[in-house]
A and B are shown apart, each in its own frame.
Chain A
Amino acid sequence: MVEEIGKTAEGDLIINVGPQHPATHGVLHLVITLNGETIKKVEPHLGYIHRSIEKMCESLTYRQFIYCTSRMDYLSAHINNHACALTVEKGLGIEIPERAQVIRVLMDELTRIASHELWWGAMAMDLGAFTPFFHAFRERESINDIMEETCGARLTMNYMVPGGVMMDLHPNFQNRVKTFLKLYKQKIHEYDELVTGNIIFQNRMKGVGYLSKEAAISYGVTGPAARGSGVSCDIRKLYPYEIYNQLDFQEILETEGDSFARYMVRLREMNESIKIIEQLIDNIPEGDFQAKTKAVLKLPKGEFYQRVETARGELGVYIVSEGGTTPYRIKFRSPGFSNLSCLDHITRGGKIGDLIASMGTLDLVIPDIDR
């Protein structure tokens, strides 16, 4: 059904959700065309939190621009920084020490767990359950404490630098992480008791927001949202970077394609991240935490691309260099933007009550979409 923008059939109702709405987790503006209770069209309007990070990066040096990217997908700030550092390292052609690689992977996985924890709490809150939010934040808080101790900040760490990491691990790091793992294993059953097994939750998630495998591929959906539809797209497995090819972990796939499948992918993914951390935490090799780099970094003329798996999907960093100290052009392929594009597809024909639930399972971070 092709409709002109702004023109609606008689009896249709247009509702604006956002830009300031608690369930959109940011300044996302949705224009919804309704026929009774049935959604005919969802049109996301973007740009409310556009800060032109890509343009800003063009005037910053290769060391400086990394901090900007923490402000894109702030829930997986480490992984964003990691992607940028990897791209610059690719351009410089430097080998980074093994200790730095292990530290980076450890931090990435901790970030992934923290991000999924927050998503889980916010997801339940979208459906009207407020208690799970605090349960999720309890575990997330201990990750944030670990980050604060080692990196110096809780959310926008800026810990990855070209050549390795900014400073060595804090002496307490291993103990803190082990304490967290213990706490996590004691408490993870609560997640199933409170939300996953709940009949109301299941009825609202199962069979709702269906995304087929073909649609997921054609919309460019990545990350847990696509893996819920059976699309194998984990960059850590398919195009391994750092030491991911030496690690033993599973790519979580669910085939149902509904909201509940996307929910289960994230919950199971947290356990895989725990598995990765357990493999590494006792085997952090000794050595340098940073490779020797020049004071002023200059990338050779050319184009460099690196992709990583963030908590939301595939993040690609594309740098065009003219041989100077600043990039000529930077482009980020952010997972949030592509994942948002399928929102219309998965909610069309459904009820308006299911819109927020379906949107919650896509795990949108609005600053990542607008950049």
Chain B
Amino acid sequence: MFIVDYLKEVYGAVKSLLVGMNRTGYYFTHHKEIITQQYPDNREELNLPERFRGEVVMAHDENNEHACTGCSACELACPNGTIKIINKFDISPEGKKKKAIDTFVYHLELCTMCGLCVEACPTNAINMANTFEHSVFNRGLLTKRLNNPDSKLKAGVE
């Protein structure tokens, strides 16, 4: 019965190959099932989910006001030393000193987009943007200042 087993094996082998080829051929003729997207071409319709963690940004409203009190919680939460907050003291009309941020330095080149700073922020001043194309020719461009020039702390945020 050796010859029967041998023929069975050959039949099984040829069949398995044909089954596989059939699957490949199926996708060869069914173009609608192809889901590959060509990246730089699909930039227009590329929708990233809102939670996608790109770079850290600070939201400013129409009066050029932000919600950052300069508490440094994000600076302490960051594992990589990405954030550096430089504070200044504003003198209010009553003559009292009040702490405010002078510069919010953000080193994009050190950032791993872990989101711990956003988690730590008590006033929701910073959030993560949906951008992901961060390549630049000059490394210095990656060190960013997040607060706009002449921006102020929103009233009522402590």
Contact = CB atoms under 8 A, between A and B. Distances in A.
Contacts of A143: none
B93 interface: no
Given A64-B77, A158-B114, A152 B51 contact: yes
Contacts of B79: 60, 64-65, 67-68
Interface in B14-65: 16-17, 19-20, 22-24, 35-36, 48-49, 51-53
Smallest CB-CB A-B distances: 3 pairs:
A64-B79, A199-B13, A67-B114
B116 interface: yes
Contacts, number: 66
Given A158-B115, A199-B12, A152 B52 contact: yes
B80 to A, nearest CB: 9
Interface residues of B, number: 26
A141 B35 contact: yes
A149 B51 contact: yes
Interface in A268-320: none
B16 A197 contact: yes
Interface of B: 12-13, 16-17, 19-20, 22-24, 35-36, 48-49, 51-53, 77-79, 112-116, 119, 128
Contacts of A64: 77-79, 116
A66 to B, nearest CB: 9
Contact of A198 (B20, B116, B128): B20
A189 to B, nearest CB: 9
A127 interface: no
A148 interface: yes
Nearest to B113: A153
9 contacts: A67-B114, A68-B79, A148-B52, A152-B49, A153-B53, A158-B114, A166-B115, A197-B16, A199-B16
A194 B16 CA distance: 8
Given A131-B24, A198-B16, A63 B53 contact: no
B47 to A, nearest CB: 11
Interface of A: 60, 63-65, 67-68, 131, 134, 138, 141, 148-153, 156, 158, 161, 166-167, 170, 190, 193-195, 197-200, 202
A141 B37 CA distance: 12
Contact of A167 (B17, B51, B116): B51
Nearest to A56: B79
Which one of A131, A190, A193 has the greatest number of beta carbons of chain B within 10 Å?
A193
A190 B23 CA distance: 7
Contacts of A166: 115, 119
A202 B9 CA distance: 12
A153 B55 CA distance: 12
Nearest to A159: B115
Contacts of A149: 49, 51
A152 B20 contact: no
A156 B128 CA distance: 16
A198 B116 CA distance: 47
A117 B35 CA distance: 17
B116 A67 contact: yes
Contacts of A152: 49, 51-53, 115, 128
Nearest to A60: B79
A170 B35 contact: no
Given A64-B79, A194-B20, A148 B49 contact: yes
Nearest to A71: B112
B20 A193 contact: yes
Contacts of A197: 16, 19-20
A166 B120 CA distance: 11
A166 B116 CA distance: 9
B113 A170 contact: no
A138 B24 CA distance: 14
A175 to B, nearest CB: 14
